Amino acid sequence: MSGPFVLYHKIATPPRDARIRGGYTPPKRFAKQMALLKKQGFVFYTASELIEYVREHGSFPPDGLAITFDDGWKDNYENAFPVLRQLGIKATIFLIPSCIGQVSAKAMSQGEGGRAHLSLQNILEMSKHGIEFGSHTLNHRLLHQIPSDEVKFEVEESKRQIEALLCKPCKVFAYPGGHFNASASQLVKDAGYTAAFTTTYGAIQHLDFYALNRIEILRRDRFLFQFARKINRSV
Ligand SMILES: [Zn+2]
C-alpha cells in the first residue's frame, strides 16, 4: 500500500530544450486522468484532510484520494486548476516560498533552466477554491545534505511565510526530491506539521505520518489504462 496520495509535478508539455521530461504531464492527459478518477467514484480530499481522517478513524476513507503537486509551478494554475475546479476536485500544492512569483531553477534538476512559479495572486485565488498549500521548504534544499540548524530554518520559516500569506494553517510538508532522514523528519514533526510526504512509489509496511509515500505520475504513464492500473493497485 502506498496510501491514497497522488503526486504530480508540472502540468505542461515539456519545452524543446528540457533534458529531463519525467516530471511533465501534458494538460490534456491530466484532464483525462482527473475525469477518469471522478468517473471511478473517488472522493477527493486535501492531503491534510486525509491525514485528519486517518488519525480519527485509524484507516483511510474508502475511495478517498488526495491529489498533490510539488514545487508550485505556474502551470498548475494555468493547466491543472481549471480542470480541478470544473470537476470539483480538491488538491494540495507544496510551495517553495522563496520562489513565489519568480522564474527559478531552484526546483529544477541540475543543468535545467528556470521556470515560472505561481504568483501570490494565483495562490490566493486557488486557496479560495479548494486548493490547500503545504510547504516544500523555503529554498528547495535537500534536507539529507544540510546541517540540522538549516533544516530547522527551511522547515519552520517556510511554514511561517505560507501561513502569513494565506492566513490559514500550513499543515503538511513534502521533502524536496523525497529526501529525508530521521533528524529531518523529527524537525518537521516538531515544527507542527501533521504529516510529511516523500516522492517514493513503493510498498510500506506501516504508516509513518512523517514518511508518507505517494503514487508518482510521470510522463511515461502515457495511456489511461496505465494510469488507472497504477492508482487502483495502490489505493
Ligand atoms: Zn520539488
**Digits of tens for pLDDT over the chain (235 positions)?**
457 999 999 999 998 888 888 899 999 999 999 999 999 999 999 999 999 999 999 999 989 999 999 999 999 999 999 999 999 999 999 999 999 999 999 999 888 999 999 999 999 999 999 999 999 999 999 999 999 999 999 999 999 999 999 999 999 999 999 999 999 999 999 999 999 999 865 556 678 999 999 999 988 888 898 898 888 877 7
Distance from the CA of 68 to the center of ligand 1, in angstroms?
Answer: 12
Distance from the CA of 38 to the center of ligand 1, in angstroms?
Answer: 26
Contact of 173 with 155, CB cutoff 8 Å: yes
Distance from the CA of 57 to the center of ligand 1, in angstroms?
Answer: 30
Distance from the CA of 44 to the center of ligand 1, in angstroms?
Answer: 23
Which pTM does this prediction carry? Answer: 0.95
Contact of 7 with 65, CB cutoff 8 Å: no
Distance from the CA of 215 to the center of ligand 1, in angstroms?
Answer: 15
CA 174 to each of CA 68, 114, 135, 207: distance values in angstroms, whole numbers, following the listed order: 10, 21, 6, 16
Q: Which of 228, 202, 206 is nearest to 215 (CA)?
A: 202
